[in-house]
Chain A
C-alpha cells in the first residue's frame, strides 16, 4: 500500500466512534478524569501490519528456541546460579503481563478517544503474546534445564510464597483501580521506567551467564514495549492537557510510582545482583541509566511544562536504591526453605564485586553472607531466619517485609485502622493506604495466613518437595550432595509467627480525604 493510502486508511480508522443515541452506556469504570476526544496518535499500525510484524517476530523467537537452542542443549549450559532465579522471575513477569492485558481492556472501554483506542487494542493482544511467551519460556526451561523442580511449580506457588505475593500486590495495581490509575501503574511507571532494566539490561546478565533462551524471549517482548511506552505517554499527555485533572493525576502518579518501586526495585535489584556468576554491571548502574536518567531525567521532565512533576517520593526512592535489593535478598536467602529455588552462598569474588559496586556493602550485609555459608550443610542444623530474634512484619500495602531500606534504618511503622492492626514499610505505603483504606479490607499478609505452622508442615502444605517426596525444592547451595530433606527441616523446630501481633501500634492511620 502506498504511503498516502496508508495515511488515508489510518485517518478513516480513527473515525469509527460515534455518539450513541439509542442505548445509554453508564460509565463502567468511573474515573475522576476528563479525557479530550482528540490527541496525538501513539500508534500507526493497522491490524494487517500488526499481524505480519508479530508473526515474523514469533517465528524468529520460537523457531530459534525449538530448533538451534534446544538441539545444542543450550539451556543446560547456562550458569546454574542464574537459571535458579528464573524459577521465580518468570512467573512474576508473566503475571505482570496478564494484569496488563486486563488494564488495556479497561482503557478500550473508558478512554473515548479513537487514536488511543487503536493503541490499546494492539497492546491488549501484545500482552496475551507476552503471557504466552514467558509461560512458554518457563515450560521450555522445565523441559531442558538440569533442575526442573521449581520451574514446574512456579505458577502454582504464586499465592503461598511471600515474595510472589508481593508481586501480585504491585501488579494488581494495573487494573484494580480506574483505567487511568491502571495506565499510570502499567504504562507510565512499570513499562516506561522498568521494562528497559528488566527486558534489556537483565538479558545482558543472562547472556553473560550462558542463558540464551531468556534474551531470545525478553528482547522479543521488549520490541513491543516501545509502543506501550508511546501509549503511556499519549495517555498521560491527554490527561494532563485538562488542567482540572492535574491534582488527581499527581496524586495517582505518586501512588503508582511508590507501588511499583517498593516491589520492583527490591526484587529486580536482588535478581540482578545476586544471581550473576559471570559478573558485569550492577542494578544500581542499570537503575541510574534507565530509571534515573532516562525516565525521570528525560521522559517525566518533558511533561513538566504540562504540569506533571516527578513523584513526590522520587528523592526518597532514589536514596533507597543503593540498599533495597541487598535487604530483600538477605531476607530471601534467610528464608531459603520457604522458596522454590536454590540460593548458593556468595564467593570471595562476589564479595569483592559487591564492595566495589556498593561501597559499604560489607558493613551491612557481609557478615550475614559469611554466616549463610556456614549453614548450608543440614548437619549444622541451622537456617538463617531461625537465628533472627523476630522476623519483620509484612507491609499491608506492598506485602514486602518491613525492613527497608536497610534493617538498621528501617522505616517501618505500626498503625491501626478500623480496629485492625497494620504494618507499613514506608511513608509511601502508609500514605497509599490512608488515601483509600477500604481497598485493603480483604487483604491479608503471608504471616496472617500461615502463623502457627511448623515449617516442615508448611513446606508439605505448599508442595515444596521434590519428586521423591522428601527432598526440598529449595536448597542453600547448588551441590547434589547433602541436600536438605523434610526431616532436616523438622529438626529445626521452627514455627511461623506473625510478628505484627506482638508489636505495639503507634496510633491510628490518619485517613486522607
Chain B
C-alpha cells in the first residue's frame, strides 16, 4: 500500500483545526456541530472577485436563506456560540432515552406494586387530567414554535440547541398522555378529554393559552429562547408543573407524576444554561452591538414577564384542586417570581418582578 510522504518535519493535522475550540481542546460536540451551517460572511466566503454575500438559491420572496434580521440581536459571529451542555445528537438522545426509560420503569413498577391504585382519585381527575393534561398543550406549543426557530437560527450551534429544546417539550407533552393512558388501567378517575376542554375554555388557562399562541407567532428565534428560558420556564413552568404537580404529587401518593416533572426540570436547567450563554455572548465586551442588545433583551424580559405573570396569576384556582396541598398558589408564585427576578438580575438585567426578590 502506498502512503503519503511523512518525511517532512511538519506534522500533518488529523483533526478539524479550522474550528476554534472554546477551551483548550476541540470537543466532540464542537467537531460535529460547528460550521455545519454555511456562513457566507466568513467561513464559507470564497473571498474571490465577488464582493458581498452569495446565495445559490434565494427564497421565493427573494430574501436570503439565513437572514441577519431573523433576530433583533446582533453579533459579528453567531458561530462562536457554544451550548454549555455540549450535546450533540448521540449524547442528547442517550440522555432522553435514560429519562424516558426511568419513567417507563417507574410507571411499570407503580402499576405492579399497586401504587397507581392508591392515588387519590380527585388528584387524578382534578390535577392530572384537569390541569397537567391541559398543560401538555402548552408544551406542545413550545415544540411547535422552536421547530421553525431552529430553521432560522443564525448558526448551527444555536440551531441545534433550539432543535433539542423543541424535542424536550414534545417529550414532556407526550409523557403526560402516556401516564394517563397507563393510569386508565388502574383507576376510573381518568378523564383525558378534561385537559383539552380546560385548555380551550377554562378561564384558568386562557392567559396561558394566549401566551402559547403568542409564542407560536413569535418570529425572532433569540427572543423565543430568552423569553422561554429566562422567564416562562422559571415563572410559569415552575408554577404549573413543578409547584402544582411535582410538589403536591407525593402527598397525594403519586410518585410517577413527580418523577416526570423532574425530568422536565432537568431539561429546563439545561435550556436555562444555554440561554444564559446566549445572553452573555450578546452583551459581551467586544460586541459592537452589546448596548443595543442589552436594551433589546431588557425589553423582551419586561414584555415576556408581564405576559407570563398574567398566566401565572390565573393559575390560582388550579392549586385549590389538589386534595392534599403542600404549597399554595400565593407562596409558590412569590417564590417563582423571586427566582425569575434573580435570573435576570444575575445577568445584569432588571425584572418587573424585582420587588418579589
Contact = CB atoms under 8 A, between A and B. Distances in A.
B3 interface: yes
Interface in A175-228: 175-178, 181
Interface in B127-146: 136-137, 140, 143-144
A47 interface: yes
A408 to B, nearest CB: 29
A505 interface: no
A254 interface: no
A483 B174 contact: no
Given A168-B56, A444-B54, A28 B213 contact: no
A443 B33 CA distance: 26
Interface of A: 1, 5, 8-9, 12-13, 15-18, 20-26, 28-30, 46-48, 51-52, 54-55, 58, 62, 76, 80, 94-95, 98, 101-102, 104-106, 108-109, 117, 120-121, 124-125, 128-129, 131-133, 135-136, 139, 142-143, 146-149, 152-153, 155-156, 158-160, 165, 168-169, 172-173, 175-178, 181, 399, 436, 438-444, 448-453, 461, 466-469, 471, 478-480, 483
Given A15-B196, A24-B217, A101-B163, A58 B100 contact: no
Interface in B167-186: 167, 170-171, 173-175, 177-178, 181-182, 184-185
Interface string B76-99: 000000000000111001101100
B254 interface: no
Name, among B33, B46, B184, the residue most crowded by chain A CB atoms within 10 Å (CB to CB): B46
Given A102-B151, A168-B56, A18 B10 contact: no
Given A23-B217, A124-B163, A152-B16, A146 B1 contact: yes
A479 B3 CA distance: 7
B37 interface: yes
30 contacts: A5-B182, A8-B184, A9-B177, A16-B173, A18-B137, A18-B196, A22-B210, A22-B213, A47-B100, A47-B167, A48-B103, A52-B97, A54-B97, A102-B151, A106-B148, A121-B166, A125-B89, A125-B163, A128-B89, A132-B90, A135-B36, A139-B16, A149-B4, A159-B44, A169-B57, A399-B56, A442-B54, A443-B54, A443-B55, A449-B50
Nearest to A114: B140
Contact of B57 (A15, A55, A98, A443): A443
Interface stretch (B58-66, B225-233, B318-326, B329-337): B58-66
Contacts of A55: 93-94, 97
B100 A436 contact: no
A13 B139 CA distance: 12
Given A105-B151, A139-B32, A468 B58 contact: no
A365 B327 CA distance: 81
B196 A47 contact: no
Contacts of A142: 14-16
Contacts of A135: 31-33, 36
Given A12-B181, A105-B148, A143-B14, A478 B2 contact: yes
A47 B171 contact: yes
Contacts of B237: none
Contact of A467 (B12, B54, B170): B12
A54 B14 CA distance: 29
A436 B58 CA distance: 10
Interface string B213-256: 11011010000000000000000000000000000000000000
A8 B50 CA distance: 58
A95 B55 CA distance: 15
A23 B213 CA distance: 5
Interface in B1-50: 1-5, 8, 10-18, 31-33, 35-38, 40, 43-50
A2 B64 CA distance: 49
B57 A108 contact: no
Contact of A172 (B57, B177, B199, B214): B57
A5 B108 CA distance: 13
A46 B147 contact: no
A121 B146 CA distance: 11
Given A22-B213, A94-B36, A169-B56, 20 more contacts: A20-B213, A23-B217, A51-B93, A51-B171, A52-B97, A124-B167, A125-B164, A129-B89, A132-B90, A135-B36, A139-B16, A152-B14, A155-B18, A158-B38, A159-B40, A177-B57, A177-B60, A439-B58, A442-B64, A483-B5
Contacts of A468: 5, 8, 10
Contact of B12 (A101, A148, A158): A148
Which 8 pairs across A and B sit closest by C-beta, in order of nearness? A105-B151, A449-B48, A108-B147, A23-B213, A51-B97, A109-B148, A22-B210, A25-B217
Contacts of B292: none
B224 to A, nearest CB: 13
Name, among B4, B104, B173, B200, the residue most crowded by chain A CB atoms within 10 Å (CB to CB): B4
Contact of B181 (A9, A47, A451, A452): A9
Contact of B5 (A30, A136, A441, A480): A480
